[in-house]
Structure 1
Amino acid sequence: MTTLLCAMLFAVGQPVALRAEVQTLGKGPQAMIVGVAVQVAPEDRARVGERAQVKVVLLRTGRIVDAQASIVTLAADGSALLLREWPAGEGEVRVFLEALEGGASGSWSSTVDVVRVDTPYEPGADAPVEAVALAALPAAEGAVRFLPPPRSGGIGALQLEVEAPPQTERVAFACDGEPLGERQRRPWTVSVNLGAIARRTVITAQAFARDGRLVGEDALVLNAPPQQIAVELMVGAPEGSTTLVTVAVRSDQQTESITLKLDDRAVARWVTCPCVVRLPSAEVASAKVVSAEVLGPHSTRGEAVRVVGLQGFQTELQVEVVELPVNVFDRAGVPVGYLDRDAFTVREDGQEVAIEAFGSTVDLPLNLGILVDTSGSMRESFAAVRHAVTGFASRLLRPQDSYFVMTFSFEPQVQLGWNADKSAIAPVLARLVPEGGTALNDAVVRGLELFRGRRGRSALVVLTDGDDTSSRTAREVTLRYVKTARTPVFPIGFQLSKLDFLLRQRLRDLAEVSGGELFLAPRSGDLEAVYARIDAQLRSQYLLTYRSPSSKSRDQFRAVSVEVKGEGLVARTFAGYYPAR
């Protein structure tokens, strides 16, 4: 169905007159694929020239739903077709056109009804590259692909495996660009040492046939930035008239949309990986930037950008996006949850930064990690622990929230993975029998690993009654990892004696560097009150997002501070962070 929308705009400076036609072309991966045909009036065709920038904006109830600009080459009749993916329904469309030479410009606006259809969009044989991109490509079959790793990163040794097509004769592995060696036969495995400090590490695998031809490649990002989907972009060397481009996303990562762009033009889209496409080499060579954006459930996202337009030079563009969980307290130590964005000032290494996104408890889901000490010393009081933990989760969690439960004695164990069913906690805790030592450091590191790729408010609540006796992870390494993870840690020191001052200090350090708080529960009866105080803080938490202006290396600490307006108010967040990439 077509809605013909025409308008003429005359103003000072003789603006360009435009007409437009909006048509629903089919159903896309997430919404309706719409064609926006823009045409310059014949009397203005010469003034505009051959190329122009066209920006198309869709609004609903005054809010911008979509806004994208494109450089187009106008046809002889002054027309150009732009494709967009818009949700069905009524709205307002605004078009802004500006000639690349001479500065002639014009605008147009009118109401539009995007009609819902059930027929999938299929681009024609002569469709432009961006049209093909709006029809989701199937996941590549027989592609080179890393199998899900045993864990998402951390420290120490890690064994990885790749699956590759039958014609593969050898696989070359590299770590952050440095060769790791080759395998000449199956299984295609490699051992990686992640060192003693968790940092973003990219492992690549290139599969070659007997004649030396590149069969395919993949990448795996370990220790990715927290609350982001790990994604890597691989742009191969031209092979004849085409160039192989691979968007690498971990195979166990849930995705909803993967979009590949040359500059600002979408050229391919997938719902799930492997994401492999051959693009015209001339198109890749003429682009300045190749980028990939991945969207996942629960508002998770990730992106990778490569600059390729500098005489064939490629480099990865890295911008650190920082999410700050912030609590505000009044003079009495009571959490304050009614502030807006203008009340906050954020600084990194003393430099004020712009707050790009702002949310509060009302707006954002909570990702909650619950760590429970199940060492032998907890046996007598574990019934009270079960009751307190179950009640805490039941009161705090809302339908949109997610949580996991991990216990630790000689080693940490995930008892309940990420889910939203509050009723699942009680039976899990009921079957546990405390025994063994206390691997506190290992549990904190493993618990924080589980937050990778999740966005929004996060918190790790750790209940323990004793010092670490069984961890392989040193205390200093644990603190470094906490500074990288950017998730508040709320330790609960349970039944600690007055002589446990060293343990209290270690737990306090975990809380202070992460933006959390240490709580003490001398008796079993104190647990419910402690969990209630943590509940109150998490219900009044803010999330501030900014882009780091720092040029420091990833091994250098970046200090963060937050100030808040209001007499007697104090803001608390993590003390700073080590970049994860």
Structure 2
Amino acid sequence: MGPGTMRPVMSLPSLLQALFLVSQIAAAAPSVESGLSVEALDRRGMPLRDPQAADFTIVQNGVPLPVAGLETGTPWRVVIYVDRVLSGTRTVRAAAGLLASQAVALAALGPVEVVVAEPAPRQAQAPTRDPVEIDEALSRLLLTGDGRDDLRALRQRSYEEIAAPAEHPEDVAGRLEEALATEVRLVDRQQDGLLEWLADPRGQGGPRVLFLVSDGYELDPRPAYLARVEDPARRAALAGGLADPGLGIRSRELAETAAALGWTVLPLPAGNERLPELGRWRTRSTPDLPIGVVVTPGRRKEKEPAEEPTLPELAEPRAPLTALAEETGGEVLTTATATTGAVARLGIRLWLRYTVPAGTAGDLQPVVVGSTTAASLRAVRWTGPPVPGRVIARRALRLLAGDEDEEDLTAAVALRPVEEAGGGWTLEVRPEEPSSRRLTIAVGGASGATVTHRLLQPADLGADGLWRVPLGPLDGALRLAVVLDSPAGGSWSGRVLPVVAEIADEEGEEAPLSVVAEEPVRFEPWTGRGVRIVAPAGGRAVGPVEVEVDLRLPAERRLERLELFWNDELAATLYRPPFRHRVNVPEERPVGTLRATALLDDGTLAEDAVLLNSTAVGERLDVRLVELYVVVTDRDNRPVRGLGKEDFRLLQDGREQVIAGFDDAGASPLSIGLAFDSSASMFLKLPDVREAARSLLSAGLTARDRALLVDFDSAPRLVTGMTGDLGNVSAGLDTLRADGSSDLFEAIVFSLQKLQGVVGRKALIVYSDGIGEGEKTSYRACLQEARRANVPLYLIVTNERAARASGGGVLEPLDGYAERLDRLAAASGGRAFFVRPSQDLREVYDAILRELRSQYL
């Protein structure tokens, strides 16, 4: 059915039969009350006159249910959800304008909140029934709300990569598969974020409507990518190897789950709608001026919005939006007329209360509404529990993929191998308290992931207080995600377990239940990009050994050199294929490591290593010698120089490690990442920040040092990549413009990732005024990345309040924010500097450089 198609009305004979069954069920079982919203119109498209509960029937999962009552004028929870990632600028601004013109009508429905996803959803306007506040929030989006249009931008980059010349035919297949996987991940991330927001328990129990601002996406992007392959035979061969990405299935599940959660969804892919006149909207503080007008002496702002760059078009991107609207009793809105009508009809919808027999909640169930008086109906097509299993399943899959932070599990869990015939595994769960829990398990293997659910009841606990859940064989599985929650809603917890038996102690006893072994090393077939030693593969190899390396690089990267090492001693340097060389492995000392290291033109590094002539089971090494750069300071934070190897001890997990090498690294070249906050609150500070940074680049760094530049507000952007041309980095500072909100943690994670693979000493310096507006990346995720990256992080926070908080005074206006930043920097081996706006930043940069020039390796 199309977006404007009405659901057929139940026939009179069917209705009479349904009413008879309703009376039988009502007399036979206890019940609980539920409700749903219905748009019921007569043949003229007008609301029904004097509707009665007896005029309606509800059939849930094939079972007629009695309608207990009917209400009109029930307050709505209204959410305007703007997905900037999947929307272009015209869509964001046109939709914001259409809804701003309806501010009074929306406020009459109920509290209105505005949510912006870029990529994670955040609240841009708290729930309000004040039309002026709603108008102002939407008008800001109209005037300044740029759409990111990430999907089409990704398409353009991927098309260029696929069309680029390839040395090997399989490179084209690799590029195509990677592009497809990247698009699917992007869409899944946005849909998961939307699903989590829809599952928020706030406002449950009444009607809820979601105005979804999005351009949509393709349910099957494979044909679009295959069309970029010019050779028909090659295209046909590639098509046979591309599996269905599953977006169609997940799109349908999202629509059904949204309906079951009680949402009516009204998508607004309004990119072709004419942008409204700005003069219609007025602010409370400046009633004579339209919102967003900038008043500057001697200037008038009359510039029209810039045209969006031409990006590839998508095939049928509205298909998932149409399905979402149909399953939830909504409609797709693309014009001002349609939007005005839809908002008006929400106000005359009916709220039907009906009874459900106890014990029939289960998971999602289809629901059909019938009427003896209405000519057309719109209503949700699904119902279900407060937190459907599909919501938890997606959480478990994100947890398994590493896209979701682990939450402290409300139980101790462990995997035990089954010793009896048939083998397999058992999951043991010891809850903190004996209450009902839903257990969701996502198992990842070479062929994908599977999800199962099980309800754990207190009566099923063993005498030792454990739930034992048989899992059967987990062939090929590397790890599994365990999620515990209550089906009735509320908090959830989860963690990831490696598929490996628990550690045994010295007496052969199993480890305590809370102890989980390290993830085992698994060796997968070589299918990706990077460096791989293909010969020798490991095992026995003595004397002159033929070494062959397979090198697969991104299309935009160029190899500078490939180095071969035997036990960290350089054996050969190769500059072009074929990458083959004979390396001598001495018979008197045959055990050692063969390593291949590729250095690319952007300074990044890729490498592989193989252990030869060892008795170890696993011979390929996925680790290398760890380099630790250390700064020693006295009580006044002054670097201590002149120490030797004997002055240090290295402990890992409480065990002393051998220090393989020691050096004074202060004179080694530095690779510095510079990240600067350019949010709107930086407007007055930005000129001084630029000048101090130029001083650092021109006087602080040397000709052997390199730098990269990141600019961030609500999202980070790479201004210049890692380069030794410090003048180019300095010029990039001129592109910084103060605008938007600030997401410090996302910028830190982004910048650390840009430093991955950079060879030698490196550090990240981040400047911010500490005024955040709804961080999309969590502090916990940022802390994990800082610990993992092995890059010292130096935070400079210019904010009067933060400076006072860090100084140990009684005022802590940032509610612990300064302490969190201090812990974040310390966890990486760096420092946090909290300074006042008037303080000279060059002093801070000098202190940072003194530390870096005093490092030991």
TM-score, structure 2 as length reference:
0.35
Query: CA distance change for structure 1 residues 141 and 292 in 2, over 3 Å: closer, same or farther?
Result: farther
My pick for the range that moved more, 365-374 or 318-327, is 318-327
Aligned to 2:114: none
Residue 434 of structure 1 corresponds to 738
* Mapped partners of 1:485, 1:140: distance in 2: 33
How big is each residue's C-alpha offset from its partner over 1:355-379, in whole Å with a ceiling of 9 and x where there is no partner? 2233334442111011110000010
**Inter-CA distance 370–260: structure 2 relative to 1 (3 Å threshold):** closer
1:196 is the counterpart of 2:196:
no
Q: What is the SS of the residue equivalent to 2:839?
A: helix
> What residue in structure 2 maps to residue 318 of structure 1?
622
Any conservation in 1 of the 2:557–2:600 contact (CA below 8 Å)?
no
Unpaired runs of 5+ residues, structure 2, are 1-165, 189-221, 247-396, 406-443, 448-524, 538-545, 583-589, 805-812
Relative to 1, partners in 2 of residues 1:258 and 1:333: Cα closer, same or farther, differing over 3 Å?
A: closer
Percent identity between the two aligned chains: 24
Asked whether the 8 Å contact 2:713–2:739 carries over to 1, the reply is yes
The equivalent of 1:525 in structure 2 is: 839
CA 1:387–1:524: 2 relative to 1, 3 Å: farther
User: 1:147 and 1:541, CA in 2 relative to 1: closer, same or farther beyond 3 A?
Assistant: farther
For 1:439, the aligned partner's letter is D
Q: Is 1:445 aligned with 2:445?
A: no
Tell me the alpha carbon deviations over residues 503-550 of structure 1, each in whole angstroms, 9 at most, x when there is no partner: 21221121111010110111233322222211211121222xxxxxxx
User: Do the aligned partners of residues 245 and 397 (structure 1) sit closer, same or farther apart at CA in structure 2, a change above 3 Å counting?
Assistant: same
Residue 354 of structure 1 is matched in structure 2 by: 658
CA gap of 1:316–1:409, structure 2 versus 1, over 3 A, is same
Q: Relative to total residues, which structure has the larger strand share, 1 or 2?
A: 1
Q: 1:220: which partner in 2? A: 528
Question: How far, CA to CA, are the matches of 1:539 and 1:322 in structure 2?
Answer: 20
Match of 1:507 in 2: 821
What residue number does 2:550 align with?
247
Deviation of 1:474 after TM superposition, in Å, equals 1.7
Per the alignment, do residues 158 and 402 of structure 1 end up closer, same or farther by CA in structure 2, a change over 3 Å counting? farther
Q: Per-residue CA shift, 1:241-293, capped at 9, x if unaligned?
A: xx9976244325543444689999x99985357x788x9xxxxxxx9999550
Change over 3 Å in CA distance of 1:538–1:395 after alignment to 2: farther
Q: From 706, 716, 725, give the equivalent of 1:412.
A: 716
**Relative contact order (alpha carbons < 8 A, sep ≥ 6): 1 or 2 greater?**
1
Instruction: Report the CA distance shift for 1:310/1:329 in structure 2 as closer, same or farther (over 3 A).
Output: closer
Q: Does 1:296 align with 2:596?
A: no
Name whichever of 363-372 and 326-335 sits farther off: 326-335
Does the CA contact (< 8 Å) of 2:665 and 2:856 recur in 1?
yes
Supply the distance in 2 between the matched residues of 1:376 and 1:271 (Cα, whole angstroms).
Answer: 48
Deviations 1:279-332 (A, max 9, x none): 9xxxxxxx9999550242699754324579999x98633334322121111243
Name the structure 2 match of 1:542.
856
Against the structure 1 CA distance between its residues 181 and 433, is the aligned structure 2 distance closer, same or farther, given a 3 Å change threshold? closer
Aligned partners of 2:687, 2:575: CA distance in 1, in Å? Answer: 46
Would the alpha carbon gap of residues 180 and 338 (structure 1) be closer, same or farther in structure 2, given more than 3 Å must change? farther
Preserved CA contact (<8 Å) 1:173 1:180: no
Alpha carbons 2:675, 2:766 under 8 Å: kept: yes
Cα 1:329–1:378, aligned 2, differ >3 Å: closer, same or farther? same
State the distance in 1 between where 2:245 and 2:598 align: 33
Residue by residue over 1:104-163, the C-alpha shift from the partner in whole angstroms, topping out at 9 and shown as x without a partner, is: xxxxxxxxxxxxxxxxxxxxxxxxxxxxxxxxxxx954443644979xx9x975999999
* Equivalent position amino acid for 2:782 in 1: T
Do 1:492 and 1:521's aligned partners in 2 also have CA atoms closer than 8 Å? Answer: yes
Residues 156 and 438 of structure 1: CA distance in aligned 2, closer, same or farther (over 3 Å): farther
Q: Deviations over 1:63-101 (max 9, x none)?
A: xxxxxxxxxxxxxxxxxxxxxxxxxxxxxxxxxxxxxxx
Q: 2:649 aligns with which of 345, 362, 381?
A: 345
Q: In structure 2, how many angstroms separate the alpha carbons of the residues matched to 1:307 and 1:466?
A: 48
Q: How has the CA–CA distance of structure 1 residues 308 and 173 changed in structure 2, closer, same or farther, with 3 Å as cutoff?
A: farther
Contact 1:375 1:408 in 2 (8 A): yes
Matches within 5 A, 1:268-279: 271-272=575-576
| Equivalent-residue separation in structure 2 for 1:382 and 1:395 (angstroms) | 20
Letter of the structure 2 residue corresponding to residue 438 of structure 1: S
Instruction: Work out whether residues 666 and 852 of structure 2, in 8 Å CA contact, stay in contact via their aligned partners in 1.
Output: no
Paired position in structure 1 for 2:512: none
State whether residues 549 and 596 of structure 2, in contact with CA within 8 Å, keep that contact through their aligned partners in structure 1.
Answer: no
Q: In 2, Cα distance between the equivalents of 1:293 and 1:348?
A: 27
SS in 2 for 1:461: strand
Inter-CA distance 356–197: structure 2 relative to 1 (3 Å threshold): farther
Question: Are the counterparts in 2 of residues 220 and 232 from structure 1 also a CA contact under 8 Å?
Answer: no
One-letter code aligned to 1:247: D
Distance change (3 Å), C-alpha of 1:404 and 1:268: closer
CA RMSD of aligned residues (A): 5.0
CA deviations on 1:179-207 (whole Å, 9 max, x unpaired) are 9989xxxxxxxxx9853279xx9999xxx
Q: How does 1:120-131 map to 2 (within 5 A)?
A: none
Quote the Cα distance in structure 2 between the aligned partners of 1:390 and 1:272: 38
Deviation at 1:334, TM superposition (A): 1.3
Q: Which amino acid aligns with 1:296?
A: L
Q: Partner residue of 1:44?
A: none
Give 3-state SS (helix, strand or coil) of 1:528's partner: helix
Decide whether aligned partners of structure 1 residues 524 and 477 sit closer, same or farther in structure 2, where only a CA change above 3 A counts.
same
Paired residues for 1:159-198 under 5 Å:
167=234, 169-170=237-238, 195-196=402-403
CA distance in 1 between partners of 2:846 and 2:743 (Å)? 26
2:636 to 321, 325, 332: 332
* SS of alignment partner, residue 390 of structure 1: helix
Classify 1:377/1:267 alpha carbon distance in 2 versus 1 (closer, same or farther; 3 Å): closer
One-letter code aligned to 1:144: D
Name the residue aligned to 2:789. 485
- Give the Cα separation in 2 of the matches to 1:202 and 1:296: 32
Q: Quick check: 1:458 aligned with 2:762?
A: yes
**Matches for 1:40-189 after TM superposition, within 5 Å:** 141-144=168-171, 146-147=174-175, 157=186, 167=234, 169-170=237-238
Equivalent pair of 1:197/1:481 in contact (CA under 8 Å): no
SS at match of 1:389: helix
1:373 corresponds to which of 677, 696, 720: 677
Q: Which amino acid aligns with 1:334?
A: R
What secondary structure is seen at the aligned counterpart in 2 of 1:407? strand
Instruction: Decide which structure has the larger Cα Rg and report it.
Output: 2
In structure 1, distance between residues paired with 2:445 and 2:528: 6
Contact 2:666 2:856 in 1 (8 A): no
Q: Residue deviations 1:542-561, cap 9 Å, x none?
A: 22xxxxxxxxxxxxxxxxxx
Quote the residue 1:387 is aligned against.
691
**Contact persistence 2:707–2:729 (CA under 8 A):** no
In the alignment of these two chains, the number of paired residues is 353
Q: Structure 1 pair 172/507, CA: closer, same or farther in 2 (3 Å)? A: farther
